[in-house]
Every structure is written in C-alpha cells, then in structure tokens.
Amino acid sequence: MQTLTPHVYWAQRHGDIYLRVELSDAKNLDICVEDNTLQFKAQGHGAKGDNDYEFSLDFLEPVKPEVSHRSTQRLVNVTVRKQEQRWWDRLTLQERKPLFLAPDFDRWLDESDAEMELQAKKEEKINKVSIESRIRQDPYLGLKKGYLFMYNLVQFLGFSWIFVNMTVRLFILGQDSFYDTFHTIADMMYFCQMMAVAEVINPLVGLVKTGVFPAMIQVVGRNVILFVIFGSLEEMQNKAVVFFVFYLWSTIEIFRYPFYMLACIDTDWKLLTWLRYSIWMPLYPLGVLAEAIAVIQSLPIFDETRLYSIPLPTVLGSSFSFSFTLKIYLVLMFLGLFINFRHLFRQRRRRMRSRKRKMN
C-alpha cells in the first residue's frame, strides 16, 4: 500500500490544539510529538481508500510532548496541549499552510469568543468550588440528611401500610370496606398526619428549600379533614367518602416520600421521578374534591349538633355556627388547590429543565 496524507482539520483554544483526522476504521495508530513536531501514522480508510496515511506538523510555538487521541469509526480526534496559554496567529511554523490542513469550523472560535468561553469555564469552576466549600462548611449536613431520610422512610412505610391494607380489604370485602375504613385505618393516618407537621417546620428552620406556605396549606387542610371532620363526628366515620379521601392521600404519598428519600442520598430513579411529578396531576384535584365532599356532608351534622359553635349575646343571635366557618374553609380549600397545583407544576417544570441540562 502506498503512503498518503489524510485530510486534517484544526481548531484552537488558549491552552489546546484540536485536530480532526478524516480517517475511518483507523488502526496501528502511531502519534507522538518530538522536537515540537507532531508525527502521525496510521492505517485506515481515507480519501484514497484503504492505505497507510501519515503527516507531520511543525507547531508555531512550543507544545507539551503528551498527546491524547480518541478514534471513532469515522475519524481520529487528537488533542495537543500548549506550553503557554495564549492565542496563536496560525498553527504551523511555516507561514504557508499545508495543503491537507484546513480549519475545523465545527469547533472554530475567534479569539474573543474563545476568551469568553474560557472566562465562563473559570466562573463555573469558581461557583462549583464556592458551592462545595459552603457544603463542606456545614458540619451537620450528614445529620440533616440522615434525619430527612429517616423521616421520609417512616412516612413512606406508614402510607404504604395504609395503601396496601385498604387495597387488600377492597378486594376481599368489596364495597363493604368503604364503610369501616376509619375504624381500621384511622390510628395509622393519625400518626402519619401528626408526623407531617414536620413538613412545615423543616423549611422554617432551613432543613429543606421548599416553601413554607404550600406545605402549610396541605398539612393544615388534611388535618382539618382528619381531626375535625372525621375525628369529631361519629356520623362521618361510617361514610364512604372516608375511604376515597384516605385512598387518594396514600396513593399520592407512596410516590412522593420515596422520591424525597432517594434525593437525600443523591439518587434519581427516572420512573419514580416521572411518577412523582405526573401522578399528582389527576390525583391531587381528586383528593381535594373528595375532601370538599366530606366537608359538605358534615355541614348539616354540625348545624344539628352545634358542635364547635360559639355562643353569642342575645342581641347578636343565638350562636355563631361552625358550619359557616366550614363554608369559608370550602372556598379557601379550592384557592389552596390552585396555589399548590401551581407550586407543584413549577417544581415539575424545573425538574424537567434540570434533567435536560444534564442530558446535554
């Protein structure tokens, strides 16, 4: 086989020289720098078919002797480090460019653009070091992550027990399981919802970066339904709406808590992430709708029993009915739905943007 010269394309940065050699299926590569001259030899398929190809380049300024290269099925990429980080007027010592050499416009940058790229990399490195130093300065980071991991694990186990218990009872008892849900599930739901108060405290003390207000809306709203509507009225405890409220709550949480639990150990499962940011879109409004039905069903009971009603002077009337407070709460419930839905949608959008940046 005769020896030929391949097509070579070049570009530079302040610290590096990039060469792209148009040679597919390259083998027997021999690339080195001696006396500031790059020597390239290889066998492969180039412009003249399968042959031996070689070339040499005398660099304009000193370069380091170490050469890195990476060959693909279609080409060979070669990177050479400059001795000094500076911009070269041209690549070769001789002013006249070799015929086989041409600019690599896919990687080509003017000096000003290269300087901007270099500055951006420096700023990114400084920001990364700054973030890492801030993280290292927190001596309690491991303790905080451990606490958050255990909290989310306990909540996940609690809501999983509720979900599995209700599902099994539904398959065995059918519709009959609707009417004794409270007496079977209430103790565990009480435990989980009392634990959920920590979700308001955690952002207040800086343990998590989520907003306090959305968390407070959800925790307070659920606890009103659980403790005031279901817990205080025995007449509500045997209604089917209890089943639907508990089942929707637990379905949402068995995906939310493991997502946060894995985030504490910097682990991301794509399927779980998709479920966490997608399944709430139909379930969360359905949960609020079930809560609203529970409130509406409780109104005549509160009117009849006068429970939590506030006695008033005779001039103002007999009493201030608690059902009127619940009617106001009913309006606020749907306002909270809008606020929380917008907050969760923004979280989902930020998460998807972050994933796209990582993929790019």
Catalytic residue among 18, 179, 190, 284: 284
Distance, CA of 263 to CA of 268 (rounded, Å): 7
- List pLDDT tens digits, range 192-223: 999 999 999 998 888 888 778 878 888 998 99
Q: What percent of the chain has pLDDT over 70?
A: 85
Judge whether 284 counts as a catalytic residue: yes
The more confidently predicted of residues 338 and 247 is: 247
Tell if the pTM clears 0.85, that is, is over it: no
C-beta separation of 46 from 62 below 8 A: no
The more confidently predicted of residues 19 and 213 is: 19
Q: Which residues contact 221 (CB under 8 A, 6 or more apart)?
A: 291, 333, 336
- List pLDDT tens digits, range 275-297: 887 887 888 889 889 999 999 99
H-run or E-run covering 256: helix 241-263
Q: Averaged over 185-190, what is the pLDDT?
A: 95
- List pLDDT tens digits, range 112-168: 666 677 677 766 776 666 555 555 566 778 888 999 999 999 999 999 999 999 999
The pLDDT score that the predictor gives to residue 360 is 47
C-beta separation of 30 from 40 below 8 A: yes
CA diameter of the chain: 114
Distance, CA of 190 to CA of 230 (rounded, Å): 11
Total Cβ atoms within 10 A of residue 181: 27
C-beta separation of 192 from 218 below 8 A: no
pLDDT of 227 over the 60 cut: yes
* C-alpha dist (Å) from residue 277 to 54, 170, 225, 256, 298: 55, 27, 25, 9, 32
* C-alpha dist (Å) from residue 6 to 51, 77, 102, 298, 341: 10, 13, 11, 84, 60
Alpha helices for 105-211 (secondary structure H): 111-137, 141-173, 181-195, 198-204
Q: Averaged over 10-27, what is the pLDDT?
A: 90
Q: Averaged over 51-65, what is the pLDDT?
A: 91
Please give the single-letter amino acid code of residue 88.
Answer: W
Catalytic residue among 18, 291, 304, 308: 291
Distance, CA of 209 to CA of 237 (rounded, Å): 37
Q: Averaged over 56-77, what is the pLDDT?
A: 89
CA quadruple 200, 206, 212, 215: dihedral, nearest 10 = -50
